[in-house]
Chains A and B, each alone.
Chain A
């Protein structure tokens, strides 16, 4: 196990380096510049700006400087918001996105699994159809549509919740609902189909024949196996939800980090592009690692150190 983890850690660092390099060169190969403006600018001003941000240096020099800054976890100042550093932006935005993300994940996972189990147990019954209708709606209605609808109904018409901004727990309710519906639906459908598969297997019949209580059968025997596909999607889902979502954060005016992903690319704010990419990839890589560990816990048949033997 320890050997496996060390191997994985090395692989993670290599993956990260690969992502950094690829992003760096891709980013500089897109046409455009952070100083492009529709308004008037003089050539001297443009040159001064490029010099100021070292963009006049050859690309390999910039790449070298960049690797150094990643190694020291200092992403430097943003070009567009020059009085702020990328570290400050991430340090400020991530906790907010994380808070919203964690609540969303909890709501999505628990309600999704519950819906899925109910649907599987009532296979082809009314409850199944109802649960799956909710799930299909959840997948097919984009979260920004849902968000606008929720705001209009609950905040403007009924006035029971605030419209937007991020200042108290009640401000979290609408964005959580808007954000959780999609993942909840995906989890519900996954849980339902794998539950259905597991419930027909012999060991479940055996368990029933042994006279085990239904609660024990579902939670101890069936659910554990049925959750494997859910855990698989959970890794990447968690990484993307925890690092913020552009649209929901924009609609609800949440000061998270979701907007940096999109805005930095539009404005070619190179340090912010790199900062967000490195940050997101690190989280994604860690999540995928945790998922692999979770497999072993959920299903003892999956042996993590097997690779070592082969």
Chain B
């Protein structure tokens, strides 16, 4: 009896399994159909990419992050666009004049610049968009970038009005901007998606024009044709784009896959053309990957208001006890460049020399010197034993590995036992701003391509300072650099400022960021700018 029953049930189980197998076979059939489709499509050039996460927003001043920029930078275009060498080039603006004092920019907008719905792109669209960026009611976290413009800051913090913002559509094709101070890198700042124009007519009719593919109106190399939120989106070549003849791809399919392992597996099966490198496989795959600079630092902040880091020599001792090279070679293993300064590689000064190379190593791993400085610092403070030091990082495996390596280095190189603590990122960010840590993990990614963007962070009271460090001389240098119209002098001021920063050492730089990706051999021409935007205008696929 029992035998019969168990046979019957085993049969049921087999049936369930068979049902699964049947499905697998069914899957195969559709698979071969898919292949057929792909071959048909191969006449047109389709690129398969992954955006990682759902874009925050395609509203230019709101989508202020890399998950939005990758797409937005290819759907729209500002007055200038970063070229293949990462320098700003004429884009929607055909040419521009800069006044004698370097403060007033007059842009001539291309006659053939059009929106994807056929409307001409006008100076009014820029005026509308830039004032909207600064409007406090827009709630844009990118608004501070508009503080370069005269009247921008006052309007955004509620003290001024839109009329006082010095952006003006002189006529349909002439756009005039007056800056607070002469800034040669302004042309690079306005390549940021926050400064993209907005079709005023479309936005007035439908304030949510950016929320869906159907209503999206852009002016870039590609058009948004499909957007299934959280799943995927599709771009197709924009025939209305002024430089359409130089756009080679017909279509870009963006998946939204928030898992690097899955992304890499799909790259292996050919479902994606580009993939990041999963951290566990970085040693194996780094050789095949393309490694490019990204403007930003991974670093640690001292709190100069907390013992024992009020002492400059103790700060220096800790900084010199860190071996950045070992960290990038044996801990992160992702091909990063070790950081011995704060401004990252890739910024040319007035003589065309790289800022980082000219400034040189401002902090060096020096174990002897570190021990001497620690002793000296302790004597200065009258310490018999060093007050307890806690190093805090936000919870994540990669941060933990670096924190543990630092702990080991402080122990071996200085003989100091450092305690480790970690907390959830959001709480960590809040406490770090409130200066509640002694020594804590930090990162910085540049918002625009100029060394001043790195250096301005450490001005007294700046929202990115977060160390309690303050130097009148440093503040003055930054201020002077911002008002200096002569490029050679401006760089001199910045070189000097960075030197002061490292003489007083409120931070320990660890490494510069990079962008590491695997590319399908058939793909070429994808440009990744150090400031973080992805450029597909020149991309091609065989």
Using a CB–CB cutoff of 8 Å, the interface residues on chain A facing chain B are 30-33, 35-45, 47-49, 51-53, 80-84, 88-89, 92-93, 107, 110-111, 114-115, 117-118, 121-122, 127, 148, 151-152, 155-156, 159-166, 168-170, 173, 177, 213-215, 218, 250-253, 255, 259, 266-268
| Interface contact A160-B27, CB-CB below 8 Å | yes
Pick from A30, A118, A251, A253: contact of B9, CB under 8 Å: A118
The distance in angstroms between the C-alpha atoms of A92 and B230, with both chains bound, is 9
- A159–B26 CA distance with the chains assembled, in angstroms: 14
Given contacts A52-B137, A122-B6, contact A32 B426 (CB under 8 A): yes
* Residues from chain A with Cβ under 8 Å of B210 in the complex: 83
Q: Does B269 contact A (CB under 8 A)?
A: yes
Task: Report if A32-B259 is in contact (Cβ < 8 Å); known contacts: A81-B57, A92-B229, A214-B5.
Answer: no
Of B1, B140, B208, B258, which one neighbours A259 at CB under 8 angstroms? B258
Residues 195-217 (chain B) with a chain A CB within 8 angstroms: 208, 210-211
Residues A253 and B262 in contact in the complex (CB < 8 Å), given A45-B144, A49-B139: yes
- Whether B9 contacts A31 by the Cβ 8 Å rule is no
B350 at the interface (CB under 8 A from A): no
**B residues near A, CB below 8 A?**
1-2, 4-6, 8-10, 12-13, 16, 20, 23-24, 26-28, 30-31, 54, 56-59, 62, 136-141, 143-144, 147, 153, 156-158, 208, 210-211, 228-232, 255-259, 261-262, 265-266, 268-269, 271, 424-427, 429-431, 442-445, 447, 457, 462-464
Q: What is the bound-complex CA distance between A166 and B463, given in angstroms?
A: 42
Given contact pairs A42-B144, A43-B157, A251-B262, a sample of 20 additional A-B residue pairs in the complex whose CB atoms are under 8 Å apart = A36-B429, A38-B443, A40-B457, A41-B144, A41-B463, A44-B136, A44-B153, A45-B143, A47-B157, A48-B140, A83-B211, A110-B16, A117-B5, A118-B6, A152-B265, A156-B269, A159-B269, A164-B262, A166-B231, A170-B27
A42-B143, A118-B13 known; A162 and B427 CB under 8 Å? no
User: Which residues on the B side are within 8 Å of A250 (C-beta)?
Assistant: 258-259
Task: Give the 8 A-B residue pairs with the shortest CB-CB distance, closest first.
Answer: A170-B27, A32-B426, A44-B157, A52-B139, A255-B230, A214-B1, A253-B257, A255-B231
Q: Which residues of the partner chain A approach B429 to less than 8 Å between Cβ atoms?
A: 32, 36-38
Considering the chains assembled together, what is the distance between the CA atoms of A260 and B198 in angstroms? 30
* B27 touching A266, Cβ below 8 Å: no
Contact of A84 among B27, B211, B268 (CB under 8 A): B211
Looking at the assembled complex, report how far the CB atom of A66 sits from the nearest CB atom of chain B, in whole angstroms: 19
Say yes or no: B430 contacts A44, CB within 8 Å. no
Q: By the criterion CB–CB under 8 Å, are B427 and A32 in contact? A: yes
Min C-beta distance of A286 to chain B, whole Å: 25
Q: Give, as a whole number of angstroms, the nearest-CB distance from B269 to chain A.
A: 6
Inter-chain contacts of A33 with B (CB < 8 A): 426, 430
Contacts of A93 in B (CB 8 A): 230
Q: Which residues of B contact A164 (CB under 8 A)?
A: 257, 259, 262, 265-266
Cα-based distance from A214 to B62 in the complex (angstroms): 68
CB contacts (< 8 Å) of A155 on chain B: these are 265, 269
**Distance in Å: Cβ of B404 to nearest Cβ of chain A:** 21
Is B153 a contact partner of A161 (Cβ separation < 8 A)? no
Q: Give Cα distance in the complex from A105 to B138, angstroms.
A: 45
Nearest Cβ on chain B to A25's Cβ, whole angstroms: 17
Q: Which of chain A's residues has its CB closest to B143's CB?
A: A45
A222 to chain B, nearest CB (A): 10
Chain A residues whose C-beta falls within 8 Å of the C-beta of B153 in the assembled complex: 44
Which residue of A40, A151, A255 has the most chain B CB atoms within 10 A of its CB atom?
A: A40
